[in-house]
Amino acid sequence: MTRPARILVTGATGAVGGAVMRVLEAAGQRAHGVSRRGGTGPRQHLWQAGREEPPPALRGPWDAVVHCAADTRWNLPFEEAERANVAPLRAVLGLVGPETHLIHLSSSYATGLTGDITSTSPDAYRNSYEWSKAATERLVHATRESADIVRFPVVMGARADGFLDRYSGFFWLPTSLCSGAVPAMVAEEKALLDIVSTDDVARHVARLVAGGAPTGTRVTVLGRGDRAQPVTQVFETVRAALNGWRARHGVPPLERLPSMTPEQWNRFYLPFAEEHLDRAQLLRVTAFRAYQGYLSVTEPFEVTHRVPDTSLALHRSIRRWAETHETAARRIPRPWRT
Ligand SMILES: NC(=O)c1ccc[n+]([C@@H]2O[C@H](COP(=O)([O-])OP(=O)(O)OC[C@H]3O[C@@H](n4cnc5c(N)ncnc54)[C@H](OP(=O)(O)O)[C@@H]3O)[C@@H](O)[C@H]2O)c1
């Protein structure tokens, strides 16, 4: 009788790791999960990878390790991004043997501003998150004879109902639209926002696990590629989903924001704002600036695996966010005044 495969999923309580655990479970695999705070359910372990020794239960041998653990914040100082994303991978590499099938989850944005992961310079990336994700890919290439690297863009919830274990990252947008923290839609006219569902990533990972380790390092890129939605359309889908929920709950609709290019915003509006807005307003404007780079990508990602249309998954995820974040979804944006 063959023994069941021993599979470890890091970041198992996160948006992607949670979905990977469910798909593996549905395929009959009894995967172990690990996260900083530990999850509920059987086979969930607690470990601050990169900051402490692994508990004995996590020592191998593992047949497959799916490494989802990461800190996806874009605005960490560079040393902190290194501690949050590169150090945990180094610690996970200590758990895997040469026979282990390592599946490392990365981001389509890891290729930064130059289109590849080779540069170690922060200038080659939009932010410390991208820079650290590129560093993790380089570490996988440098240390493994065989591994899968899976890149994908912005992640939405399940296709059926928008469910996500955690609404972080992109969900600054509905939060900020409802609170009025986004004063304008600042995006390049032809910008695209590529989106996948957690289902797409989790099913892809499950297929990789089932197929076994590749010869060499294999990079797959999921997404819509040149069929990604324009940013303007994404904003309208988010607004429509929020307004649908708000109408059902008797909350006034969100109005369409004025749109402008990053150049117009940075050259004309921001200098004016810096002179006239109060400290709290300026903080909101500065926080908003961190996201601009992502709304200015006009070159589609080259994908190896095109996922089905994600506009409905986006709509359902925003609706689900509103259902689970009622106080934030009910807010009436405060008008911008100087
Ligand atoms: N979300 C996106 O839009 C997106 C897009 C492209 C790529 N990705 C990539 O997909 C992967 C998963 O991201 P996600 O969105 O699922 O992130 P997430 O929802 O923020 O979840 C992060 C997970 O990692 C765990 N974690 C973080 N640091 C850890 C550490 N040092 N030791 C142990 N566990 C740690 C967290 O544990 P706790 O719950 O205990 O904090 C949580 O389970 C990452 O590699 C990310 O770069 C995400």
| Angle made by CA atoms 89, 95, 99, in degrees to the nearest 5 | 110
Averaged confidence pLDDT in the chain: 93
Joined tokens for residue 27: 């395929």
Ranges of H-type helices in 15-171:
15-26, 78-81, 87-93, 128-143
**β-pair partners for 305:** 222
CATH 3.40.50.720, the chain: domain bounds: 7-151
Mean pLDDT of 197-201: 98
The answer, yes or no, to whether residue 336 has pLDDT greater than 70, is no
The answer, yes or no, to whether residue 252 has pLDDT greater than 90, is yes
Q: Is 66 in the pocket of ligand 1 (CB under 6 A)?
A: no
Residue showing tokens 């259902």? 323
Q: Is 70 in the pocket of ligand 1 (CB under 6 A)?
A: yes
Neighbours of 3 (CB within 10 A): 6
Q: Is 168 in the pocket of ligand 1 (CB under 6 A)?
A: yes
- Containing H/E element for 130? helix 128-143
Ranges of H-type helices in 212-325:
231-248, 262-264, 270-276, 279-289, 311-324
Assign 137 to helix, strand or coil.
Answer: helix
Assign 95 to helix, strand or coil.
Answer: coil
Neighbours of 4 (CB within 10 A): 10
Counting from 1 in the atom list of ligand 1, the atom nearest the Cα of 108 is 6
- The CATH H-level (homologous superfamily) assignment of domain 7-151 is NAD(P)-binding Rossmann-like Domain (3.40.50.720)
Residue to mutate (ligand 1; options 36, 92, 310; most atoms within 8 A of CB):
36
- Containing H/E element for 149? strand 147-151
Q: Is 198 in the pocket of ligand 1 (CB under 6 A)?
A: no
| pLDDT band for position 295 (cuts 50, 70, 90) | confident
- DSSP β-ladder status, 101-105 and 217-223: unpaired
| pLDDT band for position 116 (cuts 50, 70, 90) | very high
